[in-house]
Amino acid sequence: MTQTAPAYRMLIGGKLVDAAERFEVINPATEQAIASVPDASEDDLDAAVLAARQAFPGWSATPIEERRAVLAAIADAIAADAANLARLLTSEQGKPHADAESEVKGMSGYLKGIAALELPVEVVEETDKRRIEVRRVPIGVVGSIAAWNFPLSLAAFKIGPCLLTGNTLVLKPSPFTPLATLRVAELIADVVPAGVLNIISGSDRLGPWLTSHPGIDKISFTGSTATGKRIMESASHSLKRITLELGGNDPAIVLPDVDVAEIAPKLFWSAFGNNGQICVATKRIYVHKDVYEPLRDAIVEYAKTVQVGDGSQQGTQLGPINNRAQYDRVRAIIADSKAQGHDILTGGGDIEGPGFFIPVTIIDNPPEDSRIVREEQFGPVVPLLRFDDVDDAIARANDTAYGLGASVWGGDEDTATAVAERVSAGTVWVNESRNLTPLAPFGGHRQSGIGVEGGREGLMEYTLAKTYFLGKR
Ligand code: NAD
């Protein structure tokens, strides 16, 4: 009897391989296991790192135009399988199908955007006697670790700059959302030269093995600030380079001259898109007293029209929370608000199971030192906070250990931009939010991260400076 290979295998050294053990992936809308994936052992990780090491000399010497072409071919392979990838993404992550489709499209577009970037040689001196130029060289083998909220977007943020700059990669998706990423592994197995891009899945033990592996030269991590600190410590033993894209507690500041009806839905989606499970979701909404009541009422009315349910069902606008641990965390924050007697404008209750569903919850002007204001909730619960004076709003917005994103909303663009200049964050949006581009750096200030992804600066993170003094005779 012939055995068929299981679906979902890892990509190591150009081959799709299984592991001795596998673990189950849960659909958060049903709490049912939907598939199993390889649980990489230390030997599997060693094999992936070795494959990446062996591929490095050839890949780093490959002309950049050929590397661009490989990235474009990956993007095309993903686009050609978009419907299937989107279905997988909804089933493992929970997001509505339309959101999953736009994530797949975004992955393909981001890779093409990165593929078009340049990293020119910088000439710092040119005289009769000599020329001094700074060239950027790849670092070596990169280990990348992704979170579960945007499995494919985060994979693209890592694959694009890593491969374009001539490094080789070992990529690990979150154990909650490995399916779409392993499907990408299958799609690109024949597209990428063997060993250049390795994709391995594993349970909780795999991340720490990866960050402490002596054969890895750099770690690029997206996830929580708490894990980021552990990774920095682990990477310090061999002085690995690190890029850390971590948590946020993004404020929105709403000025008195806004058009309430126009911005209410925009602010809603800024906070509740992907069920609030976005690093740059708006997590605190500061509203000027002149528009507080009308904006509060408009957002609450809008919230009541939004359909929460299984992302695979037509009409669903918000799916479940991705996993049990995060579901419990968000519910604990809502329970704390209830215990403190905060005024809950909508939501706050339970949705009958199965599935990790939480109703859209909006809290009316809780104290600044409450959990819902101080912590990153990463779920569908948001505080509206009233301010009288813009200086006070800016001070409160900046009073956080985080510094990922922020937005300012106002009728007069110059006034709003002047406020944006005083908010301390890696990205500030004026009258929009959450948009990212492969052309510009994205990263966190303070405890929201170290380094950036995107743009020329994002490419630099995957390189080392090599300075040439070229004497002339
Ligand atoms: P997490 O830190 O729990 O896990 C992220 C990844 O790290 C997973 O793949 C996990 O398996 C791995 N991991 C866990 N412990 C590890 C360890 N000790 N060593 C190595 N790897 C380890 O984060 P999460 O719950 O998956 O994601 C939510 C968080 O991610 C939020 O805080 C969110 O703001 C943040 N996030 C940030 C960005 C950004 O670009 N700044 C983007 C998306 C999400």
351: confidence class by pLDDT, cuts 50, 70, 90: very high
Residues 218 and 287 in one domain: no
Nearest CA to ligand 1 atom 26: 147
**CA angle at 312 for the pair 332 and 203, rounded to the nearest 5°:** 55
Burial class (CB in 10 A: 0-12, 13-18, 19+), 359: middle
294 with 385, same domain: the answer is yes
275 and 238 assigned to the same domain: no
Report if residue 416 sits inside a domain: yes
| pLDDT > 60? residue 412 | yes
The answer to whether position 305 is within a domain reads yes
Residue 287 resides in a domain: yes
In this model, does residue 460 exceed pLDDT 50? yes
The percent of residues above 70 in pLDDT, for the chain, comes to: 99
Q: What is the mean pLDDT of the segment spanning 116-141? A: 97
Best residue among 37, 219, 220, 227 to mutate for probing ligand 1, ranked by most atoms within 8 Å of CB:
227
360 CA from centroid of ligand 1 (Å): 24
CATH of the domain at 93: 3.40.605.10
CATH number, position 277: 3.40.309.10
Same domain, 231 and 167: yes
Query: Is 160 a member of any domain?
Result: yes
Q: The domain containing residue 456 runs over which residues?
A: 10-246+447-471
Cα angle at 274 between 272 and 278, to 5 degrees? 85
Same domain, 221 and 311: no
Per-chain mean pLDDT for the chain: 97
| Best residue for ligand 1 mutational test, from 23, 39, 144, 145 (most atoms within 8 Å of Cβ) | 145
Atom of ligand 1 nearest to the CA of 227: 2
Asked whether residue 4 is domain-assigned, the answer is no
Asked if the model's pLDDT at residue 5 lies above 80, the reply is no
Q: Which residues are marked as active site?
A: 245
Tell me the Cα Rg of the chain.
23
Residues 30 and 113 both lie in one domain:
yes
Q: What is the pLDDT of residue 353?
A: 86
- Provide the pLDDT for residue 1: 47
pLDDT at 384 over 80: yes
Whole-number percent of the chain with pLDDT over 90: 98
The atom of ligand 1 lying closest to the CA of 325 is: 25
For ligand 1, atom 12: residue with the closest CA: 207
For the residues 165-177, what does the mean pLDDT come to?
98
5, part of any domain: no
Q: How far is the CA of 202 from the centre of ligand 1 (A)?
A: 14
Ligand 1 mutation target, pool 224, 240, 243, 442, most atoms within 8 A of CB: 224
Distance of CA 375 to the CA centre of its chain: 18
Total domains present in the chain? 2
Q: Which atom of ligand 1 is nearest to the CA of 443?
A: 41
Q: Does residue 265 share a domain with residue 239?
A: no
95-118 pLDDT, tens digit each: 999 999 999 999 999 999 999 999
| C-beta of residue 319 within 8 angstroms of C-beta of residue 89 | no
Report the run of H or E that residue 136 belongs to, with start and end. strand 130-138
pLDDT, position 415: 98
Residue 433 shares a structural domain with residue 463: no
- The answer to whether residue 219 scores a pLDDT higher than 80 is yes
- Quote the ligand 1 centre to 221 CA distance (angstroms): 7
Predicted confidence at residue 119, as pLDDT, reads 92
In the predicted model, what is the mean pLDDT of residues 319-327? Answer: 98
Instruction: Provide mean pLDDT across the span 318-328.
Output: 98
Q: Are 312 and 458 in the same domain?
A: no
Q: Are 202 and 285 in the same domain?
A: no
Residue 268 token pair: 């809603």
**Same domain, yes or no, for 237 and 286?**
no
Average pLDDT of the segment spanning 286-297: 98
Whether residue 374 is found in the same domain as residue 460: no
Residues with CB under 6 A from ligand 1: 145-149, 172, 174-175, 207-208, 211, 222-224, 227, 230-231, 245-248, 279, 376, 378, 404, 444, 449
Above 70 in pLDDT, residue 82? yes
In a domain, 154, yes or no: yes
Give yes or no for residue 395 having a pLDDT over 80. yes
In a domain, 1, yes or no: no
Q: Supply angle C-alpha 449, 454, 458, rounded to 5.
A: 70
